[in-house]
């Protein structure tokens, strides 16, 4: 029974110990985290995968808004939630709302605006973070000596007293929903360093990082399956929100080339930048994973997002 690669058949199973955030589980209060993040990720995954134009929701309905890069006042007014992160030419909705008609009594594209999208991201971010903070502070679970999945122990604190994790999660959500445009007005995939910064900030164990190649379902090497009681292979991984990922390329070692989102030097928190400057080697990534330009510490979740963040329904 060989290792899992993209296209292999997968089945879900329950998760042992504290790896539940990445395993399959019945819905719990953490369910909204997982579903929320996947909804957020779905907004951009298809679009970022394409290099044919500025895509949103997998359709050519975006344009590259350079004012978000050139005009800080416009950026703050148009995208108050994500303004601290999307300091680049950004793929944004381009169609103006259309009036109501017989086929569309509520009109069309009424929600397809830059400001509403930014507000929607903020709503999901707050919902996910608040939900997780409640779980981490659950006194009943602590008294019973179990985590949110019923395993011995207690919920792992990811967001509690960890502004880096919360900030990284926010940054990641903004990056995957507002992809950067290159000089040819093509939307760009997510930088691997943005994902890895999130994992570091939210203190996820290394074997649960999901920032690798798509052929390994964002792991760093092929997944070796386990077997169920019937002898069938069981795989746990699935694509991570925001994938596919690409390594940053550096121009003369000084400035990042604009090849992925965000490709901004110095965007990571000071506490994470030393980590980002060290050279890291992986089985499927021979290029240094630099994160000094990536996410602000954080989750940017996505996050913890996984972030053991308790995505009980996600199979990472």
Return the minimum-mean-pLDDT range out of 22-26, 34-38, 248-252. 22-26
Residue 61, pLDDT score: 73
For residue 113, what pLDDT band results from cuts at 50, 70 and 90?
confident
Place of tokens 């007014």: 77
pLDDT tier at 252, thresholds 50, 70, 90: confident
> What is the separation of C-alpha 35 from the centre of its chain, rounded to a whole number of angstroms?
12
Q: Is the pLDDT of residue 307 over 50?
A: no
Q: What is the pLDDT of residues 89-105, one digit of tens each?
A: 998 877 666 677 887 77
Among 231, 224, 284, 210, smallest CA distance to 4 is for 224
Rounded Cα distance, 301 and 174, in Å: 10
**pTM of the predicted model as reported, rounded to 2 decimal places:** 0.66
245-246/190-191 β-pairing: parallel
* pLDDT over 80 (residue 128): yes
Check whether 150 has a pLDDT greater than 60: yes
**Distant-in-sequence, close-in-space partners of 145: CB < 8 Å, separation ≥ 6:** 152, 153, 154
Q: Looking at residues 213-227, what average pLDDT do you find? A: 77
pLDDT of residue 66: 87
pLDDT level of residue 109 (50, 70, 90 thresholds): low
Extended strands (E) in the chain: 62-65, 90-93, 190-191, 226-227, 233-234, 245-246, 250-251, 255-256
């Amino acid at each position: 029974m060989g290792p899992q690669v993209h296209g292999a058949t997968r089945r879900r199973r329950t998760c042992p110990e504290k790896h539940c955030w990445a395993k399959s589980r019945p819905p719990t209060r953490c369910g909204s985290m997982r579903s929320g993040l996947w909804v957020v990720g779905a907004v951009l995954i298809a679009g970022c995968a394409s290099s044919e134009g500025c895509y949103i929701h997998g359709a050519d309905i975006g344009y590259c808004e350079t004012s978000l890069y050139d005009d800080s006042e416009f950026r703050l007014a148009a995208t108050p939630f994500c303004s601290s992160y999307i300091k680049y030419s950004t793929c944004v909705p381009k169609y103006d709302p259309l009036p109501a008609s017989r086929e569309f009594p509520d009109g069309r594209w009424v929600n397809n605006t830059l400001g509403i999208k930014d507000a929607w991201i903020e709503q999901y971010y707050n919902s996910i973070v608040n939900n997780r903070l409640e779980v981490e502070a659950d006194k009943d679970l602590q008294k019973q000596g179990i985590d949110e999945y019923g395993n011995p122990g207690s919920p792992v604190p990811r967001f509690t007293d960890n502004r880096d994790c919360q900030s990284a999660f926010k940054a990641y959500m903004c990056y995957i929903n507002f992809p950067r445009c290159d000089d040819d007005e093509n939307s760009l995939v997510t930088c691997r360093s943005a994902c890895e910064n999130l994992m570091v900030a939210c203190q996820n164990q290394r074997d649960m990082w999901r920032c690798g190649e798509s052929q390994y379902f964002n792991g760093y090497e092929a997944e070796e399956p386990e077997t169920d009681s019937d002898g069938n292979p069981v795989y746990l991984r699935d694509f991570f929100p925001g994938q596919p990922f690409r390594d940053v390329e550096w121009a003369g070692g000084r400035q990042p080339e604009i090849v992925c989102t965000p490709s901004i030097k110095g965007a990571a928190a000071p506490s994470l930048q030393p980590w980002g400057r060290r050279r890291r080697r992986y089985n499927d990534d021979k290029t240094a994973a630099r994160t000094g330009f990536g996410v602000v510490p954080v989750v940017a979740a996505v996050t913890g997002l996984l972030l053991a963040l308790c995505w009980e329904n996600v199979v990472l």
